[in-house]
Amino acid sequence: MARVYNFSAGPSMLPEAVLTKAAAEMLDYEGSGQSVMEMSHRSKVYQSIIDKTEALLREIMNIPENYKVLFLQGGASSQFAMVPMNLMTGSGKADYVITGQWAKKAYKEAARYGQANVVASSEDKTFSYIPKLDKSTFTPDADYFHICMNNTIYGTVYHELPDTGDVPLVADISSCVLSRPIDVSKFGVLYAGAQKNMAPSGVTVVIIREDLIGKAMDITPTMFNYQTHADNGSMFNTPPCYTIYVMKLVLEWIKEEIGGLDKMQELNEKKAALLYDFLDNSKLFKGTVVPEDRSLMNIPFVTGNEELDAKFVKEATAAGFVNLKGHRSVGGMRASIYNAMPLEGVEKLVAFMQKFEEENA
Ligand SMILES: *Cc1c(COP(=O)(O)O)cnc(C)c1O
């Protein structure tokens, strides 16, 4: 069996230990005589899986008691509508920072339901930085303030959170969830699709402060109301059972193999530093993001020559480094090095880049 180093932005790599465990349990989960894929979601055995997943997430992320954890479907993209439908019901206003395509999509969706304001944007420079925020431009009576914490396509991340005072901060953390510790108490709502750093695609995790639940617009579909899922333990309808189970395995891996999020951060910083240091010293490749806003998870880079970029991607693919082609809006390459990418994968990529540079400089 030959496994490649997969630098996909999502769906992305899963820890090999997780895949091995899932395979071993495929036909008979813990003596139940069934695969998790086949179980009733109302069964005791499945209830213990979803309960354990939530308990592990709460423990690993240190989620306070007054927050609900919801396991939903529809991807992070559905949250672009769910957030305004549930929260934009006081003043009917919300602030958005536009730091990339996902942030923009979230803003556009919110603008359909209320007064969505753009407080800042970095579109002028292809989203290669996080805009400096001026609190005096924030809407004081906004129902919430929305950011996309890690910008998957452009490779930027907020190293400092905006100070929104009493206005609840809402963050899309799809591509940085579980990559390092995060102070959940600073947020009203956190949401993340699973397929970057938690599980295969299919489940979206929402972490929401309890007092923000129960204020949805009348037009909100039952399935889009946070209350529906909070009241039913994410079991109002059939949840994405198998994906939640794989998430449990990933959380066990973070807790037992890695040793928690502080350790995860150390490892992620080490991996990212390897690649950034190489880029900063390379005569051929360069990063596209301002150094102070660089992401630990998604690292776009270019040679400055489209033909050479294409040659690099082709040769890298042949050598077993796959999905390195950059997003069409940035061009060049992007290495997504989520939690599951081993240090060795980044070391080997850097060695490959070095060799390519020597051959092509
Ligand atoms: C991938 C991604 C999304 C979209 O997620 P879906 O689950 O496909 O809807 C949204 N936001 C960010 C930051 C992402 O990385």
Joined tokens for residue 290: 């301002």
Q: What CATH code is assigned to 260-360?
A: 3.90.1150.10
For ligand 1, pick from 83, 104, 147, 152 the residue to mutate: most ligand atoms within 8 Å of CB: 152
Measured distance CA(361)–CA(357) in Å, rounded = 5
CB of 155 shorter than 6 A to ligand 1: no
Measured distance CA(73)–CA(224) in Å, rounded = 10
CB of 193 shorter than 6 A to ligand 1: yes
Whole-number pLDDT of residue 144: 98
Average pLDDT over residues 239-244: 98
Residue 2 reports pLDDT greater than 90: no
CB of 196 shorter than 6 A to ligand 1: yes
Confidence class for position 333, pLDDT limits 50, 70, 90: very high
* CB neighbour list of residue 69: distance below 8 Å, 6 or more residues apart: 54, 57, 58, 63, 205, 206, 207
Q: How many CB atoms lie within 10 A of CB 76?
A: 25
Dihedral of alpha carbons 259, 186, 206, 197, sign = negative
Average pLDDT over residues 147-173: 98
Using N-to-C axis directions, what is the helix angle for 343-360 and 306-318, rounded to 10°? Answer: 130
Average pLDDT over residues 172-186: 98
Alpha helical stretches, state H, the chain: 16-24, 44-61, 75-87, 101-110, 226-231, 241-252, 261-281, 306-318, 343-360
The rounded Å distance from CA 102 to ligand 1 centre is: 7
Q: What CATH code is assigned to 17-257?
A: 3.40.640.10
Confidence class for position 1, pLDDT limits 50, 70, 90: confident
Residue 200 reports pLDDT greater than 90: yes
| Closest-lying ligand 1 atom to the alpha carbon of residue 76 | 9
Residue 129 reports pLDDT greater than 90: yes
Residue % of the chain over a pLDDT of 70? 100
Task: State the average pLDDT for the chain.
Answer: 97
Pairing of strands 333-336, 298-302: antiparallel
Contact predicate 301/287, CB 8 Å: yes
- The protein residue whose alpha carbon is closest to atom 5 in ligand 1 is 76
Joined tokens for residue 31: 């003596």
Per residue in 259-291, is it b (16+ CB within 10 Å) or e — as a string?
A: eebeebbebbeebbebbbebbeebebbebbbee
Residue 202 reports pLDDT greater than 90: yes
CB of 336 shorter than 6 A to ligand 1: no
Whole-number pLDDT of residue 160: 96
Measured distance CA(155)–CA(100) in Å, rounded = 10
Residue % of the chain over a pLDDT of 90? 98
Contact predicate 325/333, CB 8 Å: yes
Residue 361 reports pLDDT greater than 80: no
Average pLDDT over residues 151-166: 97
Per-domain boundaries in the chain: 17-257, 260-360
Which of 117, 57, 74 has its CA nearest to residue 226?
74
Measured distance CA(305)–CA(159) in Å, rounded = 31
Point out the least confidently predicted range of 64-68, 104-108, 229-233, 328-332: 328-332
Measured distance CA(348)–CA(270) in Å, rounded = 14
CB of 122 shorter than 6 A to ligand 1: no
Average pLDDT over residues 304-313: 97
Whole-number pLDDT of residue 154: 98
Answer yes or no: same fold for 17-257 and 260-360.
Answer: no
Residue 300 reports pLDDT greater than 80: yes
The rounded Å distance from CA 148 to ligand 1 centre is: 10
Residue 213 reports pLDDT greater than 90: yes
Contact predicate 141/117, CB 8 Å: no
Contact predicate 96/103, CB 8 Å: yes
Catalytic residues: 102, 172, 196
Average pLDDT over residues 98-112: 98
